[in-house]
Amino acid sequence: MIGWSMDAVLQEECGILIGEHFLYMQFDVTVIGAGPAGLFCALHAAASGRRVLLLEKMDAPGAKLLLSGLGQCNITHDGGIENFFSHYGDHGMFLKPALCNFPNRHLIQFFKKHGLCMVTDENGKVFLKTRRSADVLALLLLICNDCGVSLHTGEPVTGVVSTNKSFEITTGRAVYRSTYLVIATGGTSYPATGSTGDGYRLAAGMGHAITEIAPALTPLSITEFPFADLCGMSFSAMQFSVWRGESKMFEKTGDIVFTHQGLSGPGILDCSRSIRSGDIIRLSFIGSERRNEFAKKFAERIHSHGSRQVKSVLFSYNIPQRLVRKILDLANIPSDCTCAHLSASLRSRLILYLSGFPLTVGAPGDFSVAMVTRGGVSLDEVNPKTMESRIVKNLFFAGEVLDVDGDTGGYNLQAAFSTGMLAARSIIKKNHDRDAMNTSSCT
């Protein structure tokens, strides 16, 4: 059922009154969190004939899904599923069983089967043809309803107790019992959508370790950002490096955008999980050419064009004119300075700024602007082949509540759907094996 009437449900389905709560004993599977992972898990578990309860704390399900891709819902990415593993930081191999069990082509086929066709853009991002996140949510809710999922909205879970044979799930309205439990509550990014870390609290209460939580896929604020007046200027395939003290942490190439306060764009968002306050980001405005090579060639050009203005030489490198003027200003080089009047010290400073302009990270964007969460339920305590807890029998996890976060481009939604599907299939198999064992013992 989509939503619910408290009185009707209690009268029809809840049989035992305990204090102010009813004890509800008839669910095979309870899923906490009606985001993409929870919805997908619930509908597939229910399609197998299981009685499924889906609990959502917000008054409406899928709030964060509606924001995906600025409302356009970048469902997944194109290409072979083997190319996905490197897009989840250090944890891509944990997702390998889930992604291979339900790869991107199967996800696309699922939606196509139900009337939602996909298109792929020039960057390999896969969207609904309608470009409407609401269409994805509406379809998932429709299927949940058709499969008999009991969806209870506006009902946050306040506690979970694991017994020998079942789970007791307490909300502000009732106490439920369920043979299997799936935590799919998401992380802590975009807390206004209901992602406030509830799953971490529930998992920790059952003995699970939670790795450090931090924003990911988030823009960076830069201390005394010098390019604020160039807000909106973008760079395709810019090379940049990240330094911590005297150590180079890594070097990347990606699209970057100047904001009012710092840096954004896919290149920055994808590596924000690894960037900390105080790190130095060095931007190269000259492409992939190394500083020593560029310095030699640049010096030769300066010497051979003595009467030309320095800025006209820089324009020939296809650097935006507004940026050229800004860099010259920051380097204390007059706008009308000719190559003949460019001193060796000023030339060295200009080469540094062009090949590795240093910017100090003030802080990554907080959870209100981060697309996903870094950290979560420790992967050491979850079986990647089933999504089942290694600590608590019949407890499963799906989606962003796990210590997994992906790059931009549809990788996070694919992980949510794949882990949700794997959890559902694992539950179905366990239940089938249990039924078969019970049948065998009775013959």
Confidence of residue 17 (pLDDT cuts 50, 70, 90): low
Same domain as 232, residue 202? no
Q: Taking Cα atoms as reference points, which of 412, 414, 419, 411 lies closest to residue 383? A: 419
20 with 156, same domain: the answer is yes
Q: Which domain holds residue 149?
A: 6-214+370-441
- Residue 406 pLDDT greater than 60, yes or no: yes
Mean pLDDT of 186-193: 89
Q: Grade residue 5 by pLDDT with cuts at 50, 70 and 90.
A: very low
Q: Tens of pLDDT along 301-317?
A: 898 888 899 999 999 88
Do residue 118 and residue 232 come from a single domain? no
* Residues 288 and 165 placed together within one structural domain of the fold: no
C-alpha span between 19 and 426 (Å, rounded):
35
Instruction: Read off the pLDDT of each residue in 56-78 and give the average, rounded to a whole number.
Output: 91
This prediction has a pTM of 0.88
Pairing of strands 150-152, 52-55: parallel
Same domain, 108 and 201: yes
For 24-40, what is the mean pLDDT? 92
Residue 225 lies in a domain: yes
Band (67; pLDDT cuts 50, 70, 90): confident
Per-residue pLDDT at 137 exceeds 50:
yes
Residue ending a domain, choose from 364, 390, 413: 364
Who's near 354: CB < 8 A, 6+ residues apart? 284, 285, 286, 294, 298, 314, 317, 319, 327
State which of 336, 364, 392 marks the end of a domain: 364
Are 25 and 63 part of one and the same domain? yes
Percent pLDDT > 90 in the chain is 81
* Closest C-alpha to 353, from 336, 338, 333, 337: 333
CA 281 – CA 244 distance, rounded (Å): 9
In a domain, 274, yes or no: yes
Residues 259 and 387 occupy one common structural domain: no
Predicted confidence band of residue 133 (pLDDT cuts 50, 70, 90): very high
140 and 26 share one domain: yes
Residue 300 lies in a domain: yes
For residue 360, being part of any structural domain is answered with yes
The reply to whether 1 falls in a domain is: no
Instruction: Indicate the average pLDDT of the chain.
Output: 91
Residue 176 has pLDDT above 90, yes or no: yes
Q: Are residues 345 and 409 in the same domain?
A: no
- The predicted model gives 339-359 an average pLDDT of 94
Q: What is the pLDDT of residues 226-265, one digit of tens each?
A: 999 999 999 999 999 999 999 999 999 999 999 999 999 9
In terms of domains, do 177 and 42 share one? yes
In this prediction, residue 10 has a pLDDT band, given cuts at 50, 70 and 90, of: very low
- With respect to residue 183, please indicate whether it lies within any of the assigned structural domains: yes
* End-to-end alpha carbon distance in the chain: 38
Mean pLDDT for the stretch of residues 160-183:
93
At which of 300, 334, 364 does a domain end?
364
pLDDT of 443 over the 70 cut: no
Q: For residues 372 and 203, what is the distance between their CA atoms, to the nearest angstrom? A: 19
CATH number for 168: 3.50.50.60
**Count: domains in the chain:** 2
Same domain, 257 and 378: no
Region 346-353: mean pLDDT is 94
Note whether residue 159 is domain-resident.
Answer: yes
Same domain, 28 and 152: yes
- List, as own/partner pairs, every contact residues 288-294 make where C-beta atoms lie below 8 angstroms and the sequence separation is at least 24, other chains included: 288/239, 288/253, 289/355, 290/355, 291/351, 291/352, 291/355, 291/356, 294/351, 294/354, 294/355
